[in-house]
C-alpha cells in the first residue's frame, strides 16, 4: 500500500512551489492561525521536479481571495495555486506580482506619513522584480523586506 | 508632469522635466523687480494662501508669505501646531480638507515623509511641499538652481562641489538629482560616514555622469565653480570630539578661498552654524544671502503658475 505523507484534500487550496522556508510566512500573511476549523498541512523542504527545494501548504475548505493571492505573490513569486473541489484540481495558476500594491503592506519607513494614523492605505509600485523592491508612493522609500511588512 | 502647472501639486523635484524647471526659472526672473519692491503686482489679489508649518522655519515660511504679499494675495495659517486643532489630535488629512475650503493654494511643511503627497490626495487646491521630514524640499532646489543659473550664466557644465552632511541632508539629495538633469559636473566632499548614499550616486550615474567622491575640500576647491555648503549636525556624532574634528575640517574661510577660482560662488541653504566663517561674507564669492532672497521670486513664480497666472 502506498504511503502518503500528507493525504489529498477534498476541497480547499494547495499552494505549491513556495520558496523554500517561506511556508509559515505564507500562512501568517493569509491569516491562517490556530483557530481554523479545518486541517492545514505544511510540507517544508520538499524536493521539486526541477531539482530544487520547495515548500507546500494545503488548506482545507478555503479558497484565497485576490488580495490574499497578491500577498502570496509578494513573498513567493513562483508559487502555484491549485484550487481543489471534490478531490479534483478545478483551477491551477501561478501567482502574479501586481504592478501596484495597495492596502496589504505597510511602509518600512517609520517616518512615513502612512504609518501615522492617517486615513490612507499605503500604496507601492514595483521598482524591481528580482529582487523584489517596492517603492512607497508617499515617501519614495524602497521596501525589500516584504514579508515583514505585509499586514 | 508636463505643460501648464495650473492646479498641480508641487511635491518632488522628480515630478518635473528640465523644460518645466527652466520655465519656472524664467517666470522667476520676471518676478525679481516685484520681489525687490521695485514694482507692484496685483496678480493674486483676492487669493488666499493656506500656510501650514508643523515644524519651525524662518526662510521658507517668510519667503512664501512675502511672495504671496508681493503678488497682492493674503496668507492664513499657523507656524507651529500648538494652539491649533492639530494639538488636539486632528489628522493631517482633516486639517488639509479644512484649509482647502478656506484657501486657494496650500503650502505645507511637515515632519513626516510623504506628508505633502498625502495632502495632495485630500486637497482639491494645489499643494506646495515646503519640506517633508527627511524627504523632499522642491522649492529649495528650485531657488538653488535659480541662483546658480543667474550667478553663473547657466547650469550646464559648471563644476558644483557639495560639501557637508550629504547622507542625511534633504536639500542635497533633491539638488543633486536636479543638477544631474542639467549635466553639471558634481563632486561630493564629506567625511566617509556622511557621504552621499549609494542610491543617489547610482541615480546620478544613470544620467551618464560620474560624480567625484572626496573627503578633502583642499583637493577640489581650486577646480570648483560652485561650492554648496551644508551644515554638519552635531547629533549625528556620538563622540563630541569626533564632531569637532570633522566640523573643523569642513569649515570654509577666507584663507581657504585663496586657492579658489576668482568667480567661484559659495552657497548655503542656511541657517549656518560655523561651517562658513563670517569673514567670507564680504568676499566676492559669498552668495548665500542672495540665494535666500531668491526664495521670494522663485516662490512667486510657483504661486503664480499653480494658480494659473503666468505660463
Contact with chain B for residue A80, Cβ under 8 A: no
Q: Which residue of A has its CA nearest to B89?
A: A117
A&B contacts, CB < 8 Å: 53
B309: buried, middle or exposed (CB in 10 Å: 19+, 13-18, 0-12)? middle
Q: A139–B92: do the CB atoms touch at under 8 Å?
A: no
pLDDT of residue B26: 97
Is the pLDDT confidence value at B297 over 80? yes
Overall average pLDDT of the A41-65 stretch: 92
Put simply, the answer to whether B12 touches A139 (Cβ < 8 Å) is no
- Please provide residue B273's backbone torsions phi and psi, each rounded to the nearest 5 degrees: -110, -75
Residues of B in contact with A109 (CB under 8 A): 113
Q: Which residues of B touch A120 (CB under 8 A)?
A: 93, 118, 121
Residue B1 has pLDDT above 60, yes or no: no
Determine the residue among A110, A113, A142 to mutate to test chain B binding: the one whose Cβ has the most chain B Cβ atoms within 10 Å.
Answer: A113
Average per-residue pLDDT in chain A? 91
Contact (CB<8Å) B117/A113 = yes
C-alpha span between B221 and B209 (Å, rounded) = 20
Q: What's residue B88's pLDDT?
A: 80
- Greater confidence (B32 vs B206) lies with B32
pLDDT of residue B279 exceeding 90: yes
Tell me: pLDDT of B247 over 60.
Answer: yes
Interface test with B, best of A139, A142, A143 (most B CBs within 10 A): A139
Looking at the complex, does the CB of residue B90 fall below 8 Å from at least one CB of chain A?
Answer: no
**How high is the pLDDT of residue B311?**
60
- What are the tens digits of pLDDT across the range A85-107? 999 999 999 999 999 999 889 99
Q: Chain A within 8 Å of B244 (Cβ-Cβ)? A: no
The dihedrals phi and psi of B181, each to the nearest 5 degrees, come to: -65, -30
Reading the block at residue B228, the C-alpha cell is 554648496
Mean pLDDT of chain B: 92
Q: Are A109 and B121 within 8 A, CB to CB?
A: no
Provide the pLDDT confidence category of residue B309 given band limits of 50, 70 and 90: low
pLDDT at res. A89: 96
- Asked if the C-beta of B120 comes within 8 angstroms of chain A's C-beta atoms, the answer is no
Helix axes B198-205, B170-181, angle to 10 degrees: 10
Nearest to B118 among A118, A140, A142 (CB): A118
pLDDT at position B74 is 98
Report whether B115 contacts B108 (CB < 8 A): yes
User: Is the Cβ pair B133, A111 closer than 8 Å?
Assistant: yes
Q: Report the pLDDT value the prediction gives residue A1, as an integer from 0 to 100.
A: 59
What pLDDT was estimated at residue B267? 98
* Whether domain A100-149 has CATH 3.90.1580.10: no
Q: What is the pLDDT of residue A6?
A: 75
Structurally, at CATH architecture level, domain A12-94 sits in 2-Layer Sandwich (3.30)
* Structural domains present in chain B: 13-136+293-306 (3.40.50.1370), 139-291 (3.40.50.1370)
Cα A71 to the chain's mean position, in Å?
A: 5
Question: With pLDDT > 70 as the criterion, what percentage of chain A qualifies?
Answer: 97
A114-118, B89-93, B198-202: which has the minimum mean pLDDT?
B198-202
Of A12, A14, A7, whose CA–CA distance to A56 is shortest? Answer: A14
Instruction: Tell me whether strands A53-60 and A123-128 are parallel, antiparallel or unpaired.
Output: unpaired
In this predicted structure, the answer to whether residue A3 has a pLDDT above a threshold of 70 is no
Find, in chain B, the residue whose alpha carbon is nearest to that of A112. Answer: B113
Q: For residue A149, what pLDDT is reported?
A: 92
Residues 131-170 of chain B whose Cβ lies under 8 A from any Cβ of chain A: 132-136
Chain A CA closest to residue B117: A138
- Domain positions in chain A are 12-94, 100-149
pLDDT greater than 80 at residue A147 = yes
A95 CA: distance to closest CA in chain B (Å)? 30
Closest to A72 in 3D by CA, of A61, A57, A88: A57
A57 with A70: CB under 8 angstroms? no
Q: Which of B211, B233, B231, B232 is nearest to B220 (CA)?
A: B211
* Per-residue model confidence as pLDDT tens digits over B59-103: 999 999 999 999 999 999 999 888 777 778 899 999 999 999 999
Nearest to A116 among B12, B112, B136 (CB): B112
SS3 for chain B, per residue?
Answer: CCCCCCCCCECCHHHCCHHHHHHHHHHHHHHHHHHCCCCCCCCCCCCEEEEEECCCCCHHHHHHHHHHHHCCCEEEEECCCCCCHHHHCCCHHHHHHHHHHHCCEEEEEECCECHHHHHHHHCCCCEEEEEECCCCCHHHHHHHHHHHHHHHCCCCCCEEEEECCCCCCHHHHHHHHHHHHCCCEEEEECCHHHCCCHHHHHHHHCCCCCCEEECCHHHHHHHCCEEEECCCCHHHCCCHHHHHHHHHHCCECCCHHHHCCCCCEEECCCCCCCCECHHHCCCCCECHHHHHHHHHHHHHHHHHHHCCCCC
Question: What does the alpha-carbon distance between residue B211 and residue B194 come to, in Å, rounded to a whole number?
Answer: 16
Please compute the mean of the pLDDT values over residues B251-280 and round it to a whole number.
Answer: 94
Nearest to B117 among A117, A138, A141 (CB): A138
pLDDT of amino acid B167: 86
Q: Between chains, do B114 and A118 touch, taking CB under 8 Å as contact?
A: no
Task: Report A:100-139 residues touching B (Cβ under 8 A).
Answer: 107, 109, 111-114, 116-120, 136-139
Res. B274 pLDDT band, cuts 50 70 90: confident
pLDDT of residue B17: 93
Amino acid at each position: 500500500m502506498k504511503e502518503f505523507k500528507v493525504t489529498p484534500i477534498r476541497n480547499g487550496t494547495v499552494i505549491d512551489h513556495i520558496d523554500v522556508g517561506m511556508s509559515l510566512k505564507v500562512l501568517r500573511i493569509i491569516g491562517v492561525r490556530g483557530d481554523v476549523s479545518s486541517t492545514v498541512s505544511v510540507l517544508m523542504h520538499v524536493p521539486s521536479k526541477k531539482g530544487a527545494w520547495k515548500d507546500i501548504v494545503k488548506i482545507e475548505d478555503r479558497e484565497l481571495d485576490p488580495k490574499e493571492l497578491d500577498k502570496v505573490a509578494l513573498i513567493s513569486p513562483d508559487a502555484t495555486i491549485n484550487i481543489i473541489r471534490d478531490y479534483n484540481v478545478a483551477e491551477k495558476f501561478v501567482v502574479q506580482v501586481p504592478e501596484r500594491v495597495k492596502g496589504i503592506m505597510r511602509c518600512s519607513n517609520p517616518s512615513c506619513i502612512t504609518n501615522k494614523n492617517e486615513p490612507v492605505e499605503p500604496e507601492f509600485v514595483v521598482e524591481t522584480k528580482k529582487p523584489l523592491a517596492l517603492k512607497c508612493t508617499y515617501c519614495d522609500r524602497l521596501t525589500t523586506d516584504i514579508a515583514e511588512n505585509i499586514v | 508632469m508636463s505643460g501648464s502647472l495650473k492646479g498641480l501639486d508641487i511635491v518632488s523635484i522628480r515630478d518635473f522635466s528640465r523644460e518645466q524647471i527652466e520655465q519656472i526659472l524664467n517666470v522667476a526672473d520676471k518676478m525679481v523687480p516685484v520681489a525687490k519692491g521695485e514694482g507692484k503686482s496685483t496678480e493674486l489679489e483676492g487669493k488666499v494662501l493656506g500656510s501650514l508649518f508643523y515644524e519651525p522655519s524662518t526662510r521658507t515660511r517668510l519667503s512664501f508669505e512675502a511672495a504671496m504679499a508681493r503678488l497682492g494675495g493674503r496668507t492664513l495659517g499657523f507656524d507651529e501646531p500648538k494652539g491649533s486643532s492639530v494639538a488636539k489630535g486632528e489628522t493631517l488629512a482633516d486639517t488639509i480638507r479644512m484649509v482647502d475650503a478656506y484657501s486657494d493654494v496650500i503650502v505645507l511643511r511637515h515632519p513626516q515623509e510623504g506628508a505633502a503627497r498625502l495632502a495632495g490626495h485630500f486637497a482639491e487646491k494645489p499643494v506646495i511641499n515646503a519640506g517633508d521630514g527627511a524627504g523632499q524640499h522642491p522649492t529649495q532646489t528650485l531657488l538653488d538652481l535659480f541662483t546658480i543659473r543667474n550667478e553663473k550664466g547657466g547650469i550646464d557644465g559648471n563644476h558644483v562641489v557639495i560639501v557637508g552632511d550629504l547622507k542625511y541632508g534633504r536639500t542635497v539629495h533633491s539638488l543633486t538629482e536636479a543638477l544631474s538633469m542639467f549635466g553639471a559636473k558634481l563632486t561630493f566632499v564629506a567625511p566617509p560616514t556622511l557621504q552621499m548614499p549609494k542610491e543617489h550616486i547610482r541615480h546620478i550615474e544613470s544620467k551618464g555622469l560620474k560624480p567625484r567622491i572626496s573627503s578633502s575640500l583642499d583637493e577640489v576647491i581650486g577646480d570648483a565653480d560652485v561650492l554648496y555648503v551644508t551644515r554638519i549636525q552635531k547629533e549625528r556624532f556620538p563622540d563630541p570630539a569626533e564632531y569637532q574634528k570633522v566640523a573643523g575640517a569642513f569649515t570654509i574661510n577666507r584663507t581657504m578661498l585663496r586657492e579658489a577660482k576668482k568667480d567661484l560662488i559659495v552657497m548655503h541653504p542656511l541657517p549656518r552654524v560655523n561651517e562658513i566663517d563670517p569673514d567670507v561674507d564680504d568676499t566676492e564669492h559669498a552668495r548665500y544671502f542672495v540665494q535666500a532672497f531668491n526664495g521670494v521670486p522663485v516662490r512667486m513664480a510657483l504661486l503664480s503658475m499653480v494658480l494659473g497666472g503666468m505660463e
